[in-house]
Amino acid sequence: MALPGVPVRSGDAGFSKAMDNVTVRQGDSAILRCAVDSRVTRVAWLNRSTILYTGNDKWSIDPRVVLLSNTQSQYSIEIQNVDSYDEGAYTCSVQTDNQPKTSRVHLIVQVPPRITEISSNIAVNEGSNVSLVCMATGKPEPVINWRYLSPKARGFVSEDEYLQIIGITKEQSGQYECSAANDVSAPDVRRVKVTVNYPPYILETLNIGAPLGHQGVLRCDALAVPAAEFKWYKEDKRLSESRRGVKVENSENFSRVTFFNVSEQDYGNYTCVATNGLGQSNASIILFEIFQSTSSPLLQEETTAALTPLKG
C-alpha cells in the first residue's frame, strides 16, 4: 500500500515516465516530487494554468502550499490539509539546455464516507409498505448497506441506498442500521427506528379454580402497539374496579383481577377485552370452585401468585 503523499508507483516523478498518481486522504498532506539534475536552470510547479512556485519564489496565495526542497536532484512541494478541490493534475516545468520539459503528477484525494441523508424514525401500521433511504458521499463512492438489528436477523437485508419492506409485520419492528463504507476510514453508521403499530393479540388464557372464601386471580396478557387498554366483564356487565373485595391492576401488556374473598357470586365466566386504536381482542376466562384444604400445594401456589406485585 502506498503511503499518503507518495506516488503509487515507486520512485520520484521523472521526465520519461507517464503521469504518476499521488493518493492522499482528505485532511492529510500531499507531497509532489519532481526529479531534476545539474543541467536544470529553471524549475516551477503549476496547478493547471496557475503557477504555485518558481524556484524558491512562491506565487500561490494558498498558505497550505509550501516548498519542501529545491536541490540539484529534487524539486518538491507540499500541499497541507488536502481537500477534494485540490484533486487534479500538477505540472513540474523544467528548463534544461534551453529545452523546456515537463512531468505531471495527478493528485487523487480520497474522502471518507459520510451519510448526508437518512430517513427519520417512523411509526406505521402493520401491513403497510415501508421505504427507507440512506444517501452518502465519499471518494471512492461508498457502498451502502441496510441491516436489521435483531437477534433473529442475519447479515444485511439490502445492499442499496433504498430499503423496501412490503407488508411490514410486527416482528419487523425495531432498529434499522445504514452503513456507508469505502475503506478510506471507518464506515459512517446511522440508525432509524421503525415502530409497527398493531391491534391487541391476547395470549393463551387459563381458567382458574379457587375455594370459597379464598383468593382467586384472573390474568389476561396481550401484545399490542400502542399499548392496550383492558376491560373486564362478567357476562354482559363490566367489572367495576371499585367493587369491594376486588382489585383490578393494569399494565402495558397484562391485566390482573384479584378476588380477596371468593364468594358464590364471583364464580362464573369472565371476558377480558384488550383495545387500542387499531382494534380489539377478547378472551373468556372461567373462575370455578374447587374443594381443597388450605394446606394444598396448589392452593398455596395460587395464593402466592395473587400476592405477587404487579410488574410491567
Q: How far apart are CA 64 and CA 26, in angstroms?
A: 13
pLDDT at 184: 92
- Over residues 242-297, the pLDDT tens digits come to 778 899 999 989 999 999 999 999 999 999 999 999 999 999 999 999 986 544 44
pLDDT at 17: 44
pLDDT at 55: 92
* Beta-strand relationship, 99-118 and 20-25: parallel
pLDDT at 258: 95
Quote the pTM value.
Answer: 0.72
Provide the grid cell at 126: 402493520
Runs of H (alpha helix) within the chain: 297-307
* Contact residues for 147 (Cβ-Cβ < 8 A; gap 6+): 153, 155, 156, 157, 176, 177, 179
Positive/negative CA dihedral, 287, 293, 297, 303: positive
CA 80 to chain centre: 34
pLDDT at 179: 96
pLDDT at 38: 79
User: In 3-state terms, what secondary structure has residue 258?
Assistant: strand
How many residues would you count in the chain? 312
276 near 226, Cβ under 8 Å? yes
Q: How far apart are CA 237 and CA 290, in angstroms?
A: 24
pLDDT at 293: 59
Q: How far apart are CA 212 and CA 288, in angstroms?
A: 10
Q: How far apart are CA 126 and CA 147, in angstroms?
A: 20
Put the strands of the sheet holding 237-238 in their side by side order.
Answer: 208-210, 279-289, 268-276, 229-234, 237-238
Residues of the chain with pLDDT under 70: 1-19, 152-156, 292-312
CA atoms within 13 A on the CB side of 112: 10
Q: How far apart are CA 181 and CA 136, in angstroms?
A: 9
